[in-house]
Every structure is written in C-alpha cells, then in structure tokens.
Amino acid sequence: MDGMHTHHHHDHHSHHDADSGLADQLDLDARLTGPYLGELTGWLWGLAPAQPRRVADLGAGTGAHTLELARRFPQAEIVAVDNSAVMLDRIRAAAREQGAADRLRLVQADLDAGWPPVGAVDVVWAASSLHHVADPDRLLRDAHAALNPGGLLAVIEMDGLPRFLPDDPRLARPGLEERCRAAAAQAGWNAYPDWTPHLERAGFTGVERREFAIEADPAPPGAARYAHVVLSRYRAALDGRLPADDLDALGRLLADGRPDAVLHRRDLVLRVGRTAWAASREEPPTP
C-alpha cells in the first residue's frame, strides 16, 4: 500500500489505469495514516548519520514517505525510486506543491532488475517494498554496498490492511474484520518475514526492530471512503475463503443505499500498525 506495488503485465492503457487507481488508494492511505510518519521518521533521524547528503526511498509509491524524508532531512538530496511513471508523476507534483522539488531526484527502475542508479547514499528507506522484490537478500546486499560507512537502512512493513469497524456487539457480524484479515493473511497478502536475520546476512549491524501503532477514534475525514476500498477488496478477493454470512455482511456494509453502510457510518475508527527495522553499515575501524 504505502510503497511499491506489485508488478502486473497489462497493455499500456490498462497498466496506466491500474497504476492510477493504486495511486489514488496510496494517496488516501497517506492522508489517513500520516500521523505515524512523524514518529517513525523521528526514530530514524535519531539513528541516521548527522546531516546525510543523499536519502533513497525505494518503492516510493505516491511519495508520502519521500516528502516526509525531505522534511526530516532538509539538507539532503532525496531520490525517489519506483517502477511506475504514474507514481513518479504524483511525487513530482506533490514535491512542487510543497517546495521540495529542487532537492528531489526521480528514478524509474524495477528493483528486480538490479540496484537502481542512485549513487552512494547515507540513508536507504524501503517502506512496504522489500517483500515485493523477487530476491530481497540481493537487494539488501546491494543496499549495504551503496551505503556510505555509517549509513542507515530502514525497512517498514504494514501489519495488514487498516481496521475501521468499531468494537460494537450490535454489528451484525462481530469480529468480521479480524476474520477478513486472517483470511487475507492465509492467502499470502502482504506476507513478509522477520527481516532481522536477512539484514544481518547482508552485512548490516546494530539491527533494531520497533512497532508503531496509531488509533483514531473517531476516524479522520476520508476514512469511510478508505474503508469502502478495503472492504470491497476483501469482498472481491476472499470469496471462498470467508463464510457466506461474512460475505453477506460485507455486501451490506458496501451497499450504498443502506443507512448502516460503511460510507454512511459515523462510528468508524482507524487502527493502523507498522513494524520497522533499522540497521547500519558499520564504520571502518580507525587505524
């Protein structure tokens, strides 16, 4: 979601449309989950080398993290890498609006094809992108080689799609979202390992892992639309993995004409979780 999307093979127009739809979803996610970014990048800032000169965002998506990194590291060149021209166009436009375009470099590259041409870097950021790469261990080795000594790598993953429904026993199907998330996990959605041993095998040291969570009750504006996107995805993709009663309940929540449909509810909450790893390229020993 926030970060690189999966690779699809379509004709040009359908690929462009798919990327545009995903870009809209990523923008919506960024607006709603933005509050956690300050805490996350603040943690990274405390571990990063002083005044990094270049920061690379791998799988930048629509650039929510890219622009937060630009704010956090005001002296650095920020390099946004994504395989989608649609995503990079979104980043370019947002950077112009926020006055960060002069420090931004855009690189269109497929991370499966090798390390992108970003040059030596001081910070590498990979949010929800590493688990999409065919050979993540190769990418981590390449990142280690590209980092200047003392440089920092951050890997961020999401703990599944956001949750929106209140803990209300009056709901027709209590526990519906948790069963959807469990079925999605069983189907391999957003599957990723504990990256700690992978980072260590790639040569990184000082690996730290931390979990971040935000909960907004009531949910911020725009949450109903995002909830509709997420529940629609469950309804379309998990047929055969959920009981019929759960599929019916999703259908009721998605029916625009019902007063209890998700687009009309005023009792939605927002619960989002992220797990982050930070690791360094060791400084060479002083002679």
Mean pLDDT by 10 residues, the chain (287 residues): 35 48 70 79 93 96 92 96 94 94 97 97 96 97 98 94 83 85 91 96 97 89 91 93 94 90 92 94 78
Q: Are strands 205-216 and 270-280 parallel, antiparallel or unpaired?
A: antiparallel
Nearest-angstrom CA–CA distance, 212 and 37: 9
**Whole-structure pTM value:** 0.87
- What are the boundaries of each domain within the chain? 1-158+192-215+272-282, 162-189+219-266
Domain 1-158+192-215+272-282 is of which CATH architecture? Answer: 3-Layer(aba) Sandwich (3.40)
pLDDT of residue 179: 94
Q: What per-residue confidence (pLDDT) applies to 54?
A: 98
Q: Is 51 left (phi over 0), alpha (psi -120 to 50) or beta?
A: left
